[in-house]
């Protein structure tokens, strides 16, 4: 079986984790799987802000094309980067156990944001993190900070910014936890929808792949993502809108926290409610509808 993935060290770590779980579940040799690296537009165009290149699926289109043509059989994705709808003929119904959902604050001087002088540069290319920082610390300046985890850490060393944020999940998977200054609890920085979750995509009609993936699917992660992604879908969320969302299981109950922000950080609207697990998708949808009603039509407008 061919497992497709982007070529970044984090993407590769996620592909190897997927392969290892399949190898263990079916007692197969590693050679039963081939890891196929696919370069996406998002990987190729590294000199422009993501929001300028635009469009959904910047990091996924070429991988999904390879699935559809049969060049690969499985595709491993960070669910945080996945559009809510998959192309006709493809499906994601397998999730690995979710990693730490929190964001890490990374600051070589060890200073907190509230201790930083006005105008201090915070590096982030995430609209969500940018807006969340500016809501709480309007005196700071958020500067574009693209590249994979290694590149961003190098930019910090070079002084491009005083601090940055990275997902704990990525740092854990890359075994780079020594760079973490502090893990931020959801109360402080609500993570992106699906942060820390890996999903595996396949052709809808590939029953062999379906059978393999069923054996490694983590149900609770699937239930949490159903609520979070329904929330995102109902907001028509793309990577151009500052949205945060986190669902957690408490017994048979799903607690969903959601947040939308104006891109300039001048306003934040949030919600926190619970429902039985089986109603997760409806919980996400209803929260989105209510937040949108509060926000009004120009909420996500850059000119605000």
Ligand X SMILES: NCc1[nH]cc(CCC(=O)O)c1CC(=O)O
Q: How far is the CB of 303 from ligand X (least distance, A)?
A: 25
Which entry of 73, 81, 100, 103 is annotated as an active-site residue? Answer: 81
- Of 198 and 275, CB closest to ligand X: 198
Identify whether 27 is a catalytic site residue.
Answer: no
Least separation in angstroms between residue 166's CB and ligand X is 4
Nearer of residues 100 and 206 to ligand X, judged by Cβ: 100
Report the candidate in 286, 257, 283 with the shortest Cα–Cα distance to residue 270: 257
Question: Is there a contact between 64 and 3 (Cβ–Cβ < 8 Å)?
Answer: no
Phi and psi, residue 43, nearest 5°: -75, -35
Closest CB 103 distance from ligand X, rounded Å: 8
Beta strands in 80-208 (DSSP E): 90-95, 103-106, 121-123, 141-143, 163-167, 182-184, 198-203
- Contact between 75 and 63 under an 8 Å Cβ cutoff? The reply is yes
DSSP 3-state assignment of 31?
helix
Residue 9 beta carbon to ligand X: minimum distance, rounded to whole angstroms = 11
CB count in 10 Å sphere of residue 90: 17
**Whole-number Å distance between alpha carbons of 114 and 154:** 24
CB 225 within 8 A of CB 197: yes
Instruction: Closer to ligand X by CB, 11 or 286: give it.
Output: 11
Least separation, in Å, of the C-beta of 193 and ligand X? 10
Q: Which is nearer to ligand X, 145 or 275 (CB)?
A: 145
Q: Which residues bind ligand X (CB under 6 A)?
A: 78, 80-81, 166-167, 169-170, 195-196
| Residue 33 or 165 with smaller CB distance to ligand X | 165
* Residue positions annotated with a catalytic role: 81
């Amino acid at each position: 079986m061919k497992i497709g993935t982007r070529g970044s060290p984090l993407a590769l770590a996620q592909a190897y984790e997927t392969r290892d779980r399949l190898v263990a579940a079916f007692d197969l040799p590693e050679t039963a799987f081939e890891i196929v690296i696919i370069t996406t537009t998002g990987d190729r165009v590294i000199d422009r802000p993501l929001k300028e290149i635009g469009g959904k699926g910047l990091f996924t289109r070429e991988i999904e094309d390879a699935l559809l043509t049969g060049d690969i059989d499985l595709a491993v994705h960070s669910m945080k980067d996945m559009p809510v709808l998959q192309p006709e003929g493809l499906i994601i119904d397998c999730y690995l156990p979710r990693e730490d959902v929190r964001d890490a604050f990374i600051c070589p001087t060890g200073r907190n944001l509230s201790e930083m002088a006005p105008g201090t540069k915070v590096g982030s290319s995430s609209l969500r993190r940018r807006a969340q920082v500016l809501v709480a610390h309007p005196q700071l300046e958020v500067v574009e900070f693209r590249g994979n985890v290694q590149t961003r850490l190098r930019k910090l060393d070079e002084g491009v910014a005083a601090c940055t944020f990275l997902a704990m999940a990525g740092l854990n998977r890359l075994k780079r936890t020594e760079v973490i200054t502090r893990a931020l609890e959801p109360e402080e920085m609500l993570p992106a929808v699906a942060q820390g979750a890996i999903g595996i995509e396949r052709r809808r009609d590939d029953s062999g792949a379906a059978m393999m993936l069923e054996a490694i699917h983590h149900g609770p992660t699937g239930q949490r993502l159903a609520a979070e992604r329904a929330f995102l879908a109902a907001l028509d969320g793309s990577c151009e809108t500052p949205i945060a969302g986190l669902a957690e299981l408490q017994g048979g109950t799903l607690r969903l926290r959601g947040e939308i922000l104006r891109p300039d950080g001048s306003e934040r609207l949030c919600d926190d409610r619970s429902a039985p697990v089986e109603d997760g998708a409806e919980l996400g949808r209803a929260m989105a509808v209510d937040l949108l009603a509060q926000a009004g039509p120009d909420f996500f407008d850059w000119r605000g």
